[in-house]
Structure 1
């Protein structure tokens, strides 16, 4: 089994604060060392990862993997799809899972109350490249209708340098082998779509789409964008 190490390198922390200019609401932020990873102010693209990805999935009684728990927005958006019967949310950091289990973050209560949701402690990248065991510790080799990934900043900017080894034809193919026929892989990126990464995805998947997701960023005084890649029908 390939080993890419923990998704994160460094100490992760959660903070809650208010910004008076932005109204009377709590803002939750996750930091890695001194670097901001995510904020409850900017969740449109995390939610779009689920909505855009699942829009391409056909059928009922869907089994879905979310790679990267974060503040829970991707997972909760996925559970809004009533076709889902099982959602596995994979995270390498027990601390992050505990934030949700202990409901220290707002969406923990939503995830804990939904019987379709299950947290999986482990490295997404290690599980993705080991199809003989796969993502579900209770059922080796299970196939999924969709895999939704939101861990690294982009396909070329990694939270841990070891994660770079995942983004190859060989390892993406190992992950794709854990999808059902016509299954979907979708991935978030903070950057505009990258042509080289689209070309790489096309070595594994028959169809590859990229979407720009706009959102309001009051700190920049305008509209910012993230990207979501949606890929379908892995080549067998």
Structure 2
């Protein structure tokens, strides 16, 4: 009988042991499910990707220009990046991740979407801390073009604006540091961010100190483990 579970990789990282797993759940048929764990904590699953994809579609639909330069903060399993590349207006996509292990999963095509990202010449992986780069507009996200400005920045790293993958990330969520990030957007540029929780009024108010418009979207998707719909949020802000 074929194995229903396989650990594809496990490596130490700055945040602890991070692992990539593939499994099948008989109740869901032959579907292969990819999961990422940090220590004993589940970070992401290919079963629940609707909100990650919506981060791209909701964010990019607010950008009115063509020949777009876009930053994605957080590679994960690649769903936000691949959804962004479906927008034919994109001329370049920089995907920033602090963990070389995660980037290598895509480069080695251990995850299904790695093949799509590697084949698209518009895509480029950037190894580095999104939060450090966001706070340094004179250098910016593109090591080849310091100070470059972008049409959109799409962020999916922390669990929410108040629940952090790394406690050090908390300092990013201030008017000062969000403003430094916004300096890297073109006029009328868009910042969008994923959250696992419903929209938080305090965070919306904080975003309003930096951006001209702030909208929050609830993204609903079916959760077969709970037998009902679940929701994530996407914040969309225009400079």
Q: TM-score, normalised by structure 2?
A: 0.94
Is residue 33 of structure 1 aligned with residue 54 of structure 2?
Answer: no
Query: Which SS does the other structure have where 1:11 is aligned?
Result: strand
Query: Which SS does the other structure have where 2:212 is aligned?
Result: strand
Given candidates 85, 89, 100, the residue that maps to 2:91 is: 85
Given candidates 4, 11, 18, the residue that maps to 1:12 is: 18
1:143-222 alignment runs, 5 A limit: 143-222=149-228
Name 2:231's counterpart in structure 1.
225
Q: TM-score, normalised by structure 1?
A: 0.95
Asked if structure 2 preserves the Cα contact closer than 8 Å seen for 1:131 and 1:178, the reply is yes
1-structure distance, mates of 2:175, 2:14: 23
Is residue 114 of structure 1 aligned with residue 123 of structure 2?
Answer: no
Query: Which SS does the other structure have where 1:98 is aligned?
Result: helix
Name 1:63's counterpart in structure 2.
69
Alpha-carbon deviation of 1:125? Answer: 0.1
2-structure distance, mates of 1:34, 1:226: 22
Moved >2 Å (runs of 4+): none
Which runs of 5 or more structure 1 residues have no equivalent in the other structure?
Answer: 1-6
Alpha-carbon deviation of 1:9? Answer: 2.2
- Give me the CA root mean square deviation: 0.9
Is residue 101 of structure 1 aligned with residue 107 of structure 2?
Answer: yes
Query: What are the superposed Cα offsets for residues 149-168 of structure 1, whole Å, 9 maximum, x if unpaired?
Result: 00000000001100000000
2-structure distance, mates of 1:44, 1:188: 11
Query: What are the superposed Cα offsets for residues 159-217 of structure 1, whole Å, 9 maximum, x if unpaired?
Result: 11000000000000000000000000000000000000000000000100000000010
